[in-house]
Amino acid sequence: MKCPKPGCCAALFAFSAMTLAQATTISDNVVRIGVITDLSGFLSDVTGEGAVTAVRMAVADFGGKVLDKPIEVIAADNLNKADLAASQVRTWFDTQQVDMIIDLGNSATALSAAQIATQKNRVAIATSPGTTRLTNENCGPSTIHYAYDTYALANGIVKALVKEGHDSWYFVTIDFAGGHSIERDASDMVRAGGGKVVGAARHPIDASDFSSYILQAQASKAKVVGFATAGQAAINAIKTAGEFGLGKSQVLAGLYVFISDVHSLGLKTAQNMYVTTGFYWDLNEESRKWARRYFEKVKRMPTMVQAADYSATMHYLKAVQAAGTDETAAVMKKMKEIPINDFFAKNGKIREDGRMVHDMYLAQVKKPADSKYPWDYYTIKAVIPAEQAFQPLSKSTCARLAR
């Protein structure tokens, strides 16, 4: 191009260089990811160090850089305390320029961490918590709920069992936000299907003796005992149920049970129990290929949460690449535009309320004789399509949604 005036080309060159620089801006020249989770408590097998490993695997597979800038991963233990989680992520945002936080731990720690992320205009991706409040009354413009939620977990099991005539339920529930949420969602679905809830017992996070709770469940004569409890607490509760013979006369539903819990319980104790999951390592060749790589690093097969940590990190980095920046609004726009197609989800999509919708699976734990190799634990009984698995967007109470 011929410049009409002296100095024109130099000005155009300077303008183009400035535009290019603006188009590919990375704050402080590093994309920094913070994994805030339970590294030492009752959820550490479900998430924990395995979650950190999954995030680091995603960063390595992405190439360690995005937009030619390095990607760093830091991690912290929330100790399952909401105030500690909030304090930690605030420090990360204020002093360490963390761009995205992921996993977030239990529902209470997730709600507090996500609130700080909203205040600081940073991305928060919740893979570990279950509470539907993250996409309802506590939704935020930069919060994504990625792996599952209590509506989806309850939906898979409850509808199937009630349809089969298992229409009276008793719940053993952990006394925190996620437990309350899944008991509420499951109860609503039981009643909507024409069944009834005959009672519930709530136990503290640090409960060690579950005898009284299991005796109450047994005495209820409910057709189904729903374990709305998680991590080590779920393991202890279900072990006690086995010792009391609950599985012989009542159906056991692991509403908040992960494959790590089944592994700890053993098939002899966990056999026939129903669970809902968004990921199973042995689902297909793609999931097996990634899971075996993960197994080489941690010597355990991944939970749904740990698989989601990898998938969500990869999706975030793809969005940064596509946006040409790590600026939160631009990245969130791309995350919602780009479909998720990987070993974790096919045609996954992040909705306006922050919910990532994808297929879920109703599984039944195998009998010991039916398991052919290590970690061969589930029989997939049904695929729950994405549009049916999660709470409809029309029922969301997220205040940001246009009505």
Q: Domain segments of the chain: what residues?
A: 28-148+283-353, 151-277+360-384
Six-digit token string for 224: 């189904």
Amino acid in position 65: K
Q: Report pLDDT for 176.
A: 85
Compute the distance between CA of residue 202 and CA of residue 387 in angstroms, rounded to an integer.
32
- Return averaged pLDDT per consecutive 10 residues of the chain, 403 residues in all: 48 41 76 98 95 98 98 97 97 97 96 98 97 96 97 90 94 90 92 95 91 96 93 92 90 92 95 95 98 98 98 98 98 98 97 97 96 98 94 92 67
Output the CA–CA distances (angstroms, integers) from residue 287 to 51, 208, 311, 342, 375, in the order listed: 17, 35, 12, 9, 13
Q: Report pLDDT for 162.
A: 94
Answer yes or no: CATH 1.10.3720.10 is held by domain 28-148+283-353.
no
Q: Report pLDDT for 303.
A: 98
Q: Out of 3.40.50.2300, 3.20.20.70, 3.40.50.300, 1.10.443.10, which CATH number does the structure's domain 151-277+360-384 have?
A: 3.40.50.2300
Q: Report pLDDT for 2.
A: 45
Nearest of 68, 65, 70, 74 to residue 30 by alpha carbon:
70
* The 3-state secondary structure of the chain, one letter per residue: CCCCCCCHHHHHHHHHHHHHHHHCECHHHCEEEEEEECCCCCCCCCCHHHHHHHHHHHHHHHCCEECCEEEEEEEEECCCCHHHHHHHHHHHHHHCCCCEEEECCCHHHHHHHHHHHHHHCCEEEECCCCCHHHHCCCCCCCEEECCCCHHHHHHHHHHHHHHCCCCEEEEEEECCHHHHHHHHHHHHHHHHCCCEEEEEEEECCCCCCCHHHHHHHHHCCCCEEEEECCHHHHHHHHHHHHHCCHHHHCEEEECCCCHHHHHHHCHHHHCCCEEEECCCCCCCHHHHHHHHHHHHHHCCCCCHHHHHHHHHHHHHHHHHHHHCECCHHHHHHHHHHCCECCCCCCCEEECCCCEEECCEEEEEECCHHHCCCCCCCEEEEEEECHHHHCCCHHHCCCCCCCC
Given this chain, do its domains 28-148+283-353 and 151-277+360-384 carry the same CATH topology? yes
Six-digit token string for 116: 């700080």
**Residue reference for tokens 């399509």:** 385
Q: Report pLDDT for 24.
A: 67
Amino acid in position 102: I
